[in-house]
Amino acid sequence: MTNSVAPERSLRPGSELDLLFTDLLANGQAVGRADGLVVFCFGPLPGEHARVRIASVKKSYAVAAPIALDCSSPDRAQPFCPVFGACGGCQVQHLAYEAQLRWKREIVRNALQRIGGLGGTAVREPVGMASPREYRNKMTLVVEDGEVGFYRMRSHDLVPITACPVVLPALNRYVGALATAPPSSPVRRILDEARHIVVRYARATGEAVLAISTQRALQNDRSVVTAVRSRFHDAVGIVNSFEPRSTNAILGSRQRLLDGRAEIEEEIAGIRYRVSTASFFQINPEIVGRIFETIERELLPARCVVDLYSGMGTFSLFFAKRGTQVVGVEENAHATVEALANAKLNGLADRAIFRRKRVEAFVTSQAGRDAFSKADLVFLDPPRKGCDESALRTLSRAGVPRIGYLSCDPATLARDLKTLSANGYTISSVQPFDMFPQTGHVEALAILKKAPEDVH
């Protein structure tokens, strides 16, 4: 019997070589091949040749750093942020915006084919932004040794910043004020104690709320409030978030209002939302409005909607505002309280009912069966991990005529659409939305219909 010996590889850390790159991953790394290995490198674009230096070699892949480009793609753009390539917030500022949209469409299409076996599904052109900068309405700053910034790409090292070109301009006033606070400033003591500073801003009202995330509760509340007010006159509220559940947690398990109120008020498509820094709320109001337009055009009218993973009511209230009866289901207690308050704020408490329950438990409960029997549409907006397979099968058996599935992860969307397709639903359309320009993230809305003979 002959022992097989793995061939010795010529690639070593420190090796330099010229490579053609053929693909681009969602994390911004370009993909090439050398010596039988996949080589990942941040910087090149598909179609570009580059001189690279191997940084590490694993069993099935290697990681390289760029030295020089030998040719430039017509899709290459000049990054507009001075820390692009160091900061981990954006991955594709070096890719022209129209090319970003084409690339994101392919990300969705490839996931559907590779993971879902749904290669024949038509994926529409993505809905993008008129100006793909200055769009984020929430900013989470890392604080280390009195400096503020974001995490370095693929690490927890700090990249100091004085501004960020993808947040709303009003948020950059906060960045600048924090980054340039003199040593004698009262704000400096806050930075000495803070782990993170989170600011959320409402474009419609100009309101902002600031959360100071610390390990333990801040002391001397009034001096903290005075310090913040001296620099941030437009903040409607100041919150101390403390006692994080893990070292990676941004906000703590406990929240204490120091001054003002804990929520801002935003308005999208005539719907008012009161949102805290701890709430899950989409960071790009312009694209949320475009999603609303698509829903209204392709999913309405509807008599009754079951909104699973309803959060603080973003989509439930949109449906209710259009005259639909809505049952929202959400397991997070804080989000459910906010949803109920937002329904009252909009005069929609009689049309939007919210139940605090895990989706997986709701779909098998009597309340779930009753809701599905009346519904002509189920709307799903799950977290990145997607939906539980057994919950999707149970939902399919309920025979609701239509499903709208909004996803922030093409991989889990493809997996879940495969389950729904195997259980009697046909995919009518998949519409990507560029919720996160300059990054590898893409949102997509899939619309599915049940075969007429299977409808309840």
Annotated catalytic sites, by residue?
A: 408
Tokens of 63: 């990681």
Q: What is d(CA 319, CA 301) in angstroms, rounded to the nearest whole number?
A: 9
Task: Give the separation between CA 144 and CA 24, rounded to whole angstroms.
Answer: 32
Q: Give the residue among 184, 179, 186, 194 at the shortest CA–CA distance from 223.
A: 186
Q: Is 345 helix (H, G, I), strand (E, B) or coil?
A: helix
Q: Which two tokens stand for residue 12?
A: 């070593």
Dist CA 197 CA 210 (whole Å): 7
Nearest to 224 by CA among 266, 256, 271, 264: 256
Phi, psi of 67 (to 5 degrees): -105, -50
CA end-to-end span of the chain: 63
Q: For 346, how many CA atoms within 13 A lie in the half-sphere containing its CB? A: 30
180 three-state secondary structure? coil
Give dist(CA 391, CA 394) in Å, integer.
Answer: 5
- The neighbour count for residue 340, using CB atoms within 10 Å, is 18
The DSSP secondary-structure symbol of 343 reads H
Beta bridge partners of 65: 53
| CA-closest candidate to residue 129, choices 317, 300, 283 | 283
The one-letter code for the residue type at 377 is L
Residue bearing tokens 């753009």: 77
Task: Round the CA-based radius of gyration of the chain to a whole number and report it.
Answer: 24
